A and B are shown apart, each in its own frame.
Chain A
């Protein structure tokens, strides 16, 4: 299996980026079914992305919020004048 893998790695990249034909996609999926190394490579990416995407929104720190409120208003009034 290791012998065929280098050939698959470059295709795996396109596969992960969604840029392969349905035929190649099926072929790669078949390969992933039988090749543990390639499967681990794909799983690692998926897990990493999943954990990165968890809580993809983050609350601004309270102190920053407070600072920004005044700062932005001042900047706004400088641009548009006081309404």
Chain B
């Protein structure tokens, strides 16, 4: 059955049709929420809130976007709401996370160690790398983490990121850039600290 047919049924009150729609997308939405929150309990709460809200609003969903995108949007709003309330990290300027970044957004190579991914002697185990990267992402202030994940993990366009996060295109672009640079510096620093592998 197509998404459209399922949607028509769900709107008419067919719970099984609604569940089928949800089943097709919930794994991806949950993964995104987990990345955004970096916290299992928050992710579970947001997932629950999202699906309850989807039931409340199902009649208003007109199908302009796919059902999955619609769920993402609801989940994202809950995640943002939660972080707006509690994230102290958001109050710190991103410069604290990337000392090499100047106001103009240009970047000084010399201030941070670099990690050469092509050097076979510097290959780290994938699991170890994943952990390091997760931690680096987790340290980003929420709005930058959100911009990075939506753009690169969810592969949304800059315009879509702007729309979803209620930003101008320019400001979304700037957040994505800063998130990327902060991550790069953060990772470089970790490699330097933990592995003594400063290059250049």
Contacts and interface: CB of A to CB of B under 8 A. Distances in A.
Nearest to B127: A51
Interface stretch (B78-86, B89-97, B101-109): B101-109
B170 interface: no
Contacts, number: 118
B98 to A, nearest CB: 13
A57 B31 contact: yes
Q: Is the interface of B mostly helix, strand, loop or mixed?
A: helix
A58 B25 CA distance: 10
Interface residues of A, number: 43
A49 B152 CA distance: 6
B63 interface: no
Interface of A: 2, 5-6, 9-10, 13, 16-17, 19, 36-37, 40-41, 43-45, 47-49, 51-61, 64, 67-68, 71-73, 75-77, 79-81, 83
30 contacts: A17-B151, A36-B200, A37-B109, A40-B115, A40-B117, A43-B117, A44-B183, A47-B117, A48-B133, A48-B187, A49-B152, A51-B130, A52-B35, A52-B137, A53-B153, A57-B28, A60-B30, A61-B40, A64-B44, A64-B47, A64-B48, A68-B47, A68-B48, A72-B22, A72-B51, A72-B52, A75-B55, A76-B15, A76-B55, A77-B15
Interface of B: 13-15, 18-19, 22, 26-28, 30-31, 34-35, 40, 44, 47-48, 51-52, 55-56, 105-107, 109-110, 114-118, 126, 129-130, 133, 136-137, 149, 151-153, 158, 173, 176-177, 180, 183-184, 187-188, 199-200
